[in-house]
Amino acid sequence: MRNSWSPFVVSAPGKVILFGEHAVVYGKTAVAGSLNLRAYALVTPRDDATVRLVLPDIDIDVHFSTHTLPQIRKEDLEHPAEIESLVTEAITVPVGPGRTAILTFVYLYACLFCSEDRTSGFTITVRSLLPVGAGLGSSAAFNVALSAAMLKLTGQLSDEGSSAGDKQLINDWAFRGEQVAHGTPSGIDNAVATYGGFVRYRKGEEQTDLQSTQALRVLITNTKVPKSTKALVASVRVLRDRHSPIIDGIMDAIHSISTKAANLFGGPDAGDLEVQLQDMIRINHGLLATLGVSHPALERVRDITGTRGMASKLTGAGGGGCALTLIPNGLPSAEVDAAGKELAEEGFQCYETNVGGPGVLVRLEVKALSVELFVRNALDRHMSLAPSGHRDETGDQYSGVISAFTILPPDAISELSQ
């Protein structure tokens, strides 16, 4: 069968934990939301039996003959992480930071194309606005985008992948993708990346979509201070073992914050929501600091934003990593800009974005232009360059589009999904 489909783009958002990190480990409620920082996967057809994965953000460009990749029925593997020992007999997967991404790609292909025609392949190129490994769910956005792309290719999604059934399918496969890398993820990251919006989460319960009508404006500050989620969770465990009634009280207080915040979403008064959320942010951070998971860099973010009328808290595991700052609607943009400048001067990376936007999106018609034309336009605008348009050494039909996609700044690529 010849490939007759046109290139398309799939995108999925990262996540931010608004309330409840650490407490969620002890069965308390957490609230997370989708970030309008997204991963974008460009999917282009090939007319040979090759699949190619291009990941410019982490310097990976690999291709495999479709016939060397295993055929796996998902029930044949007890756990998706077993893919590692299974495929390394058949193919060589480079050792290094991109290894898990490649293994996830191979796992999804092996399962989703188990009984499909493999005589023609495709290229998937993924770019992301999300910092990798900073606690903002970059892996989930990546896994949701990959899963949706391959489900689309195998004809398992409706047109734009937006029905409830589509979302459930994408979420299930993305969860398996997260399992390849992490073993026992909770599933909240891929749920947020799939469904978008705000999600209430508690271990052992179905996560609830909070149906909020409004997005929140936020600053996300990556302090770039390296942290180990595992070590931080362990340090809280030690503290709890030493002082369990006290620490349990703190966990209960965090649970009350998450519950209150979850109830506020979808409420009628946006102004009141903001005031209340600011309080919740300050109190939740204070409690997390008491647990010993703040860091001087995170306190610096709180100082800088606090003097300009904004409340901040750590988000994720803490000990460095990222902070979340709520930008109240009425705050003059000069204040936000000044805070952003000061944060950058500290060496932090700052993103102004919003929380609560859409989940996975499949774009078949990009601004009613072909992807190639779009990328050409975007390149002209952003980089004054034209894509080469010729086949590269891997024989890719759309190498011009692919190379454009790899060199465009990600914020230009984000226009693809608007």
Ligand X SMILES: Nc1ncnc2c1ncn2[C@@H]1O[C@H](COP(=O)(O)OP(=O)(O)OP(=O)(O)O)[C@@H](O)[C@H]1O
Ligand Y SMILES: C[C@@](O)(CCO)CC(=O)[O-]
- Using CB under 5 A as the binding rule, whether residue 143 contacts Mg ion is answered as no
| Residue 83 region by backbone torsions, left for phi larger than 0, else alpha for psi between -120 and 50, else beta | alpha
What distance in Å separates the CA atoms of residue 45 and residue 366, rounded to the nearest whole number? Answer: 16
Q: Least distance in Å: CB of 351 to ligand X?
A: 13
Selection from 100, 95, 152 nearest residue 122 by Cα: 152
Maximum pairwise Cα distance, the chain: 67
Query: How crowded is residue 320: how many other Cβ atoms within 10 Å of its Cβ?
Result: 24
Q: Which stretch binds ligand X (CB under 6 A): 20-28, 67-75, 127-135, 147-155?
A: 127-135
Q: Which two three-digit tokens encode residue 185?
A: 């993820």
Write the single-letter amino acid at 392: D
Task: Decide if 360 contacts 194 (C-beta within 8 A).
Answer: yes
Task: Decide if 357 contacts 199 (C-beta within 8 A).
Answer: no
Three-state SS across 88-133?
Answer: CCCCCCCCCCCHHHHHHHHHHHHHHCCCCCCCCCEEEEEEECCCCC
6 is known as an active-site residue: no
- Using CB under 6 A as the binding rule, whether residue 137 contacts ligand X is answered as yes
Q: Which two three-digit tokens encode residue 288?
A: 């997390």
Q: Least distance in Å: CB of 188 to Mg ion?
A: 10
- Using CB under 6 A as the binding rule, whether residue 171 contacts ligand X is answered as no
Q: Which two three-digit tokens encode residue 382?
A: 């952003």
235 is known as an active-site residue: no
Of 80 and 135, the one with the shorter C-beta distance to ligand Y is 135
Q: Helix axis angle, 99-112 relative to 164-182, nearest 10°?
A: 140
Binding ligand X by CB under 6 A: which of 19, 50, 57, 371?
57
Residues 189, 258, 294, 399: which is the catalytic one?
Answer: 189
- Using CB under 6 A as the binding rule, whether residue 400 contacts ligand Y is answered as no
- Using CB under 6 A as the binding rule, whether residue 331 contacts ligand Y is answered as no
- Using CB under 6 A as the binding rule, whether residue 94 contacts ligand X is answered as no
- Using CB under 6 A as the binding rule, whether residue 21 contacts ligand Y is answered as yes
Binding ligand Y by CB under 6 A: which of 114, 233, 253, 407?
233
Query: How many residues make contact with ligand X (CB under 6 A)?
Result: 20
Phi, psi of 319 (to 5 degrees): 65, 20
- Using CB under 5 A as the binding rule, whether residue 190 contacts Mg ion is answered as no
Selection from 290, 310, 292 nearest residue 301 by Cα: 310
Residues 139, 312, 399, 403: which is the catalytic one?
Answer: 139
142 makes contact, choosing from ligand X, Mg ion, ligand Y, none, with CB < 5 to 8 Å by partner type, with: ligand X
DSSP E strand boundaries for 8-99: 8-19, 30-45, 50-55, 60-65
233 makes contact, choosing from ligand X, ligand Y, Mg ion, none, with CB < 5 to 8 Å by partner type, with: ligand Y
Q: Which stretch binds ligand X (CB under 6 A): 23-31, 50-58, 69-77, 86-94?
A: 50-58
What distance in Å separates the CA atoms of residue 214 and residue 264, rounded to the nearest whole number? Answer: 11
- Using CB under 5 A as the binding rule, whether residue 139 contacts Mg ion is answered as yes
**Residue 379 host element (H or E):** helix 371-383
**CB-based closest residue to Mg ion:** 139
Of 121 and 185, the one with the shorter C-beta distance to Mg ion is 185
Binding ligand X by CB under 6 A: which of 77, 126, 146, 232?
126
Question: Which of positions 185-214 make contact with ligand Y (CB under 6 A)?
Answer: 186
Q: Which stretch binds Mg ion (CB under 5 A): 133-141, 166-174, 368-376, 395-403?
A: 133-141
Q: What pairing do the DSSP bridges indicate for beta strands 30-45 and 50-55?
A: unpaired
Q: Which stretch binds ligand X (CB under 6 A): 54-62, 70-78, 147-155, 257-265?
A: 54-62
- Using CB under 6 A as the binding rule, whether residue 14 contacts ligand Y is answered as no
What distance in Å separates the CA atoms of residue 302 and residue 374, rounded to the nearest whole number? Answer: 41
- Using CB under 6 A as the binding rule, whether residue 139 contacts ligand X is answered as yes
Phi, psi of 48 (to 5 degrees): -120, 175
What's the Rg (C-alpha) of the chain? 22
Active site residues per annotation:
139, 189
Residues in touch with ligand Y (CB under 6 A): 17, 21-22, 24-25, 135, 186, 229, 233, 316-317
Could you list the residues that contact ligand X (CB under 6 A)? 39, 55, 57-58, 97, 100-101, 126, 128, 132-139, 142, 189, 316
